[in-house]
Structure 1
Amino acid sequence: MLSAEVSLYPQKTIRASEIINDAIQSLAQQGVSYNVGPLSTEIHGTEEQVWTGIRSLFDRASSAGEVSMVVTLSNAASED
């Protein structure tokens, strides 16, 4: 299992929230487990699912213009 905490920062736009929300919707299409927080989104799954989810987020957001992404990855077991 792999977990990622991802933050997207659309640049040079007044539509940042719209771009972020649209990018998050791409995760639902990937079938990956995710939790949306106020400042970041957590993605959980197999390595392939998480990497595909990260790529999907970035691709969708960058299709709207310039974007920065911050990702923290962990392969540590969850205590849930």
Structure 2
Amino acid sequence: MIAAEVAIYPLKTNNASQVINNSINTLHNTDVAYSIDSMNTHLTGSKEEVFHCLQKMFCEAENTGGEINMVVTVTNASE
């Protein structure tokens, strides 16, 4: 089990909220638990699922927003 904290920062767009929301929506119907706060999305699950979801989030943001920055912190430490 691992946990990740991810933030998507769309660049050069007037639709940043839409790009971020589309990226978060890729987490629906996955086996990863997630919660959203004002600046980050927190994911918890198996290593394979979390990294797969991070890839899906990045690809969706890239497809809808063009240039993006994605900041991720990953831990396997128990809380």
TM-score by length of 2: 0.94
Which 4+ stretches in 1 moved above 4 angstroms? none
Tell me how far apart the structure 1 counterparts of residues 46 and 55 of structure 2 sit (CA, whole Å). Answer: 14
Percent identity, aligned pairs only? 38
The size of the alignment, in residue pairs, is 78
Say if 2:11 and 2:68, in contact at 8 Å, map to a contact too: yes
2:9: which partner in 1? 9
Q: Which amino acid aligns with 1:66?
A: E
RMSD: 0.8
Helix, strand or coil for the counterpart of 1:27?
A: coil
Stretch moving more, 29-38 or 41-50: 29-38
Q: Deviations over 1:12-42 (max 9, x none)?
A: 0010001100110001143321101100000
Tell me how far apart the structure 2 counterparts of residues 46 and 61 of structure 1 sit (CA, whole Å). Answer: 22
Tell me how far apart the structure 2 counterparts of residues 31 and 74 of structure 1 sit (CA, whole Å). Answer: 18
Tell me how far apart the structure 1 counterparts of residues 21 and 46 of structure 2 sit (CA, whole Å). Answer: 23
Say if 2:31 and 2:45, in contact at 8 Å, map to a contact too: no
Unaligned ranges ≥5, structure 2:
none
Unaligned ranges ≥5, structure 1:
none
